[in-house]
Amino acid sequence: MDIEQGDLKTPKKFRPSASRMASSQPRVDPHTIPLSCSHSSFHLTSLWDRAELHFARSSQRLTMLLLGLTGSIATGKSTVSSILSSPPYSLPIIDADILARKVVEPGTAGYNKICAHFLPTTPDLLLSESDYDTKKFPNGAPLNRPALGKRVFGDSEERKKDRQVLNEIVHPAVRWEMYRQLLRCYLRGDWAVVLDVPLLFESGLDKLCGIVLVVAVRDPAIQMKRLRERDPHLSAEDAENRVRSQGDVRDKARRAEFMEKEAGRGVVVWNDEGKEELRTELEKVMETVKGRSPRWWAWLLLLCPPLGGLLGVWSYWRGTVISRRWNDQEFKERAKL
């Protein structure tokens, strides 16, 4: 995962988007067949689209729900994660940032690879002994994350290459640890688990998720203000580089709305206001989410692993199809420019 040093409504209250309000109605295919009669006309959506959308929604109720949580730096993702991990939800959280730190601790394979690549050209890559507890880290000096951040955050070609190298080291290790924790949650009978991943779409992990929740802000100035207040040591340029490194959160919001339209798999929570407004919006979202994946289904799947495996494969395939449709749509939009 890209190394990130923190995270954190709308003038209007949470709206599940027009697509969610219409979720009870089947998605209309461009190739519908008009039927006319003496009094009115009707349109029949293809049976395949009806069945596909119905099964996509039903499968969310039949599996341990993977709730993908993403956003951008300083949009409120960590706040949402904290709320979901506390009562009344008490959901297990698999935090990619925490895992990213774990897999590069001194003595790990990831740590050794990072040192081999970056240390020759980054003298301050490791903390000095006076800056860390030697008893807590007996295997060596931890990484100096601010120093490493300066190497990988930015738009220059050199920094992009360094960021790619870092991702190639960290991503596989994080994925493996993530799968281990998911299996643990499944065997424990959890009805849902939160995947807290800043780069959920970029890493392709959205394909695994039954629902993707994007925490976003409409005003970029609010995002920058929160980041500078939280991390005052960052210069304006460093703050902008960190925001850009995670992509435009409004693009992520558009993608979540597209997922909702296609198969009821995306939700956007706008966080331009305060924490209480955010909590209220999240309550509405979770009421819908809990209705789609009741707890007792998780126990059924635990007793019948083949059913869980089958539905897991279906969910991943469906996520892949949605991702391909989104990429096709974006390609066509760019072609118009």
Domains of the chain with bracketed CATH: 9-92+190-337 (3.40.50.300), 97-189 (3.40.50.300)
CA distances to 83, 98, 114, 164 from 151, in Å = 33, 20, 12, 11
Tell me the average confidence (pLDDT) per consecutive run of 10 residues in the chain, 337 residues long: 44 43 43 39 46 45 80 95 95 96 96 97 94 92 94 90 95 94 88 93 92 96 94 90 90 96 93 94 89 63 72 86 94 85
User: Percentages helix, strand, coil for the chain, rounded to the nearest 5?
Assistant: 55, 10, 35
How remote is the C-alpha of 97 from its chain's centroid? Answer: 12
Give dist(CA 69, CA 96) in Å, integer: 10
What token pair was written down for 146? 């601010």
- pLDDT at position 34 is 38
Please list, in sequence order, all residues whose beta carbon lies within 8 angstroms of the beta carbon of residue 334, skipping any fewer than 6 positions away: none
41 has which bridge partners?
Answer: 36
Query: What is the number of alpha carbons within 13 Å of residue 204 lying toward its C-beta?
Result: 8
Give dist(CA 112, CA 97) in Å, integer: 19
Q: What region does 241 belong to: left with phi over 0, alpha with psi -120 to 50, or beta?
A: alpha
CB distance 245 to 199 below 8 Å: no
- CA-nearest of 208, 142, 139 to 178 is 208
DSSP β-ladder status, 192-196 and 65-70? parallel
194 has which bridge partners?
Answer: 67, 93
Angle between helices 109-118 and 157-188 (to 10 degrees): 180
Question: What sign for the dihedral angle of Cα 4, 208, 104, 92?
Answer: positive
- pLDDT at position 298 is 60
